Amino acid sequence: MPWIRNKPVRIVMRWQMIVTVAMVLTLGLLWGFHGAASALLGGVISIISAAAFAAVISHYQGATAGGVLITALKAEAIKIITMIILLWLVLTLYEDVVAVGFIGTFAVTVLIFGMALFVTDETSAAGIK
């Protein structure tokens, strides 16, 4: 993920991937192939939408508060639209989805993305004295 210039987003996306793999393994043991596939799809939807968010904010070059706010709102809108479309696709096309595993993994990985607010960007913090 070197194209993502925002360090906190990179870190939480890495954690989303780790949690997704853990959920795939756990639910695969509990519910077999469809449990693992459902967990994978739930995690991947969150990761793809986070990547869409990161793509939008990575292209921002300005320095005004208004520009930052508009970019953040655009990025969040794109993330939510991506989530809705992908959730709809999975729920309509995958008949054997294990709903608990799918929605559970999706919810956990979305919550992890929210933790980006708590990750410090040491390169920025080091420049402020």
Residue 12 CB burial class (10 angstroms; 0-12, 13-18, ≥19): buried
pLDDT of residue 3: 65
pLDDT of residue 67: 84
126 pLDDT band, cuts 50/70/90, is very low
65-69-74 Cα angle (round to 5): 150
Task: For the chain, give every domain's residue range.
Answer: 7-118
* Residues 1-17 pLDDT 10s: 566 777 888 888 999 99
Kindly tell me if the per-residue pLDDT of 129 is higher than 90: no
Kindly tell me if the per-residue pLDDT of 127 is higher than 50: no
Instruction: Give the integer Cα–Cα distance in Å for 32 and 108.
Output: 20
